[in-house]
Amino acid sequence: MRGFDYTRDMTSKLQLKRPLTLLGGLSAQEFLRDYWHKKPLLIRQAIPGFKPPVAQSELLALAQQEDVESRLIRQRRSKVAAHTWQVEHGPFTAADLPSHKQKHWTLLVQGVNLHHAGADQLLQQFNFIPYTRLDDVMISLAGDGGGVGPHFDSYDVFLLQAAGQRQWEISTQCDLALVEGMSLKILKNFQPEQSWVLEPGDMLYLPPHVAHNGVALGACMTWSIGFRAPDYQEIGQVFLEYLADTIALPGRYADPQREASAAPAWIDDDWMDRVDKALQGIRWNKSALRNFLGEYLSTPKPSTFFSPPAKPLSRARFAQQLQRGHLALDARTRMLYRNPEIFVNGESFTARGQDAILLKQLANERHLKGAGIKDLEVLIDTLHEWYCAGWVHLKTSSLP
């Protein structure tokens, strides 16, 4: 793989070939070859005895936070369709949120991994798929009969049943027409082909565009491990903004051969030709593309706020404590690389030698032993800045 010079230890490489309970006994390599982005897979007891590390009360509290994206969906009976779905957007007050005894509602809380270490750890179990593709953990809480209706997603998703039971119906139908005038994207003609009841620990993988409908059988909680696949239009638009800051087009419009005009409002061919020629000078090379992609893919979501330490250690104290401890990236930090650039939270810089080796290790493992950093003064400066910004945390214990 070009640009990939980080050597994972042998154990990590072998993991990719080892059967995983999480994938129903398939190795990560087999799953990617046979199912990923291709066909659905039901995995009974993907996480045996799964006890959701996020309590219902914690989820309800997150739905009341300003910096957390949440939606409350209620189904109502309707004369036009079997149901209508009513959507409200958070943050909610405690009084807005239904009790688990009520029926036909579901609360969806997005990006729980950014706020809860347990959800972040769960997301990390899927790191056989690159961080550039992992999106977030969304958790849904539902009263009996609750769900978001038959729909399809444009992204791959693992639906992990966390508590209670949910019935999932799926269909590989080509008819993806939607009910008009509904605030949720609901399929007009959902024709289920397969159906299962998922128990805690069971997981269903769905590639994009597979129609599905999940209905809570009693109160339940479902975790969606979602993936990121920006459309090219979005990438193109952001790339053009990026280029705007980097292009250098020399010269200025000039028309020494101009003739007198009988139609002064006309934008003549001279304008068209000269500007066309000048704009042909907008070029980018692989380095510009790499830097753009790295900054774009490592930019946290717009609602992300970091929490810097209240009383940060001085640079000297930080360096001292680092020797005995380790660093852990904050769950909100996005760190990627492509030689010789390191990208972190939308910023890029060049790293070489031992600094680069250690930073790539931090990016891949999301933590780093402090002992190996001694004497790397520039690296310590950088890490101290990240620590002061809340991008990375200093842990006093050594890594297990």
Q: Residues 52-91 vs ligand SIN: string with x where CB under 6 A?
A: ----------------------------------------
Among 24, 147, 207, 325, contact with ligand SIN (rule: CB under 6 A): 147
219, 164 contact by CB (below 8 A)? yes
- CA torsion angle 269 274 275 278 (round to 10): 160
155, 191 contact by CB (below 8 A)? no
Given Co ion, ligand SIN, none, residue 351, with its beta carbon under 5 to 8 Å by kind, binds none
Query: Considering only CA atoms, which of 181, 183, 182, 157 is closest in space to residue 170?
Result: 157
Least gap, CB of 234 to Co ion (angstroms): 20
* Binding window for ligand SIN (CB under 6 A); candidates: 78-86, 140-148, 227-235, 251-259: 140-148
Among 70, 84, 106, 333, contact with ligand SIN (rule: CB under 6 A): 106
Residue with tokens 């045996």: 48
Return the residues of window 19-48 that contact ligand SIN according to CB under 6 A: none
Which residue's Cβ lies closest to Co ion?
Answer: 153
**Using DSSP, how many helices (H) and how many strands (E) does the chain show?**
10, 15
> CA of 177: how far to CAs of 77, 174, 185, 211, in Å?
21, 9, 9, 11
* Binding window for ligand SIN (CB under 6 A); candidates: 58-66, 125-133, 145-153, 314-322: 145-153
Query: How far is residue 207's CA from residue 374's CA, in Å, rounded to a whole number?
Result: 45
Least gap, CB of 302 to ligand SIN (angstroms): 22
Query: Considering only CA atoms, which of 374, 230, 395 is closest in space to residue 328?
Result: 395
Nearer to ligand SIN, 171 or 222 (CB): 222
Query: How far is residue 292's CA from residue 339's CA, in Å, rounded to a whole number?
Result: 13
Query: How far is residue 299's CA from residue 47's CA, in Å, rounded to a whole number?
Result: 31
Nearer to Co ion, 110 or 298 (CB): 110
H/E run at residue 226? strand 211-227
Residue 162 zone, left/alpha/beta (φ > 0; ψ -120 to 50; rest): alpha
Going 122 to 184 to 151 to 32, the CA torsion angle's sign is negative
Least gap, CB of 82 to Co ion (angstroms): 18
Given Co ion, ligand SIN, none, residue 106, with its beta carbon under 5 to 8 Å by kind, binds ligand SIN
Among 100, 115, 212, 393, contact with ligand SIN (rule: CB under 6 A): 212
Query: Considering only CA atoms, which of 43, 347, 339, 64 is closest in space to residue 204?
Result: 43
Least gap, CB of 192 to Co ion (angstroms): 14
223, 162 contact by CB (below 8 A)? yes
Return the residues of window 247-306 that contact Co ion according to CB under 5 A: none
Given ligand SIN, Co ion, none, residue 84, with its beta carbon under 5 to 8 Å by kind, binds none
Both tokens of residue 241?
């903004």
Query: How far is residue 3's CA from residue 286's CA, in Å, rounded to a whole number?
Result: 12
Q: Residues 213-252 vs ligand SIN: string with x where CB under 6 A?
A: -x-------x-x----------------------------
Query: How far is residue 62's CA from residue 113's CA, in Å, rounded to a whole number?
Result: 11
Give the count of residues interacting with ligand SIN (CB under 6 A): 10
Nearer to ligand SIN, 70 or 224 (CB): 224
Residue 153 binding ligand SIN, by CB under 6 A:
yes
* Binding window for ligand SIN (CB under 6 A); candidates: 147-155, 288-296, 301-309, 376-384: 147-155
Least gap, CB of 383 to Co ion (angstroms): 39
Peptide bond into 192 cis (omega under 30): no
Among 153, 169, 199, 365, contact with Co ion (rule: CB under 5 A): 153
Nearer to Co ion, 153 or 365 (CB): 153
Backbone angles phi, psi at 181, to 5 degrees: 70, 15
Least gap, CB of 158 to Co ion (angstroms): 11
Which residues of this chain interact with ligand SIN, rule CB under 6 A?
Answer: 106, 140, 147-148, 153, 157, 212, 214, 222, 224
Residues that bind Co ion (CB under 5 A): 153
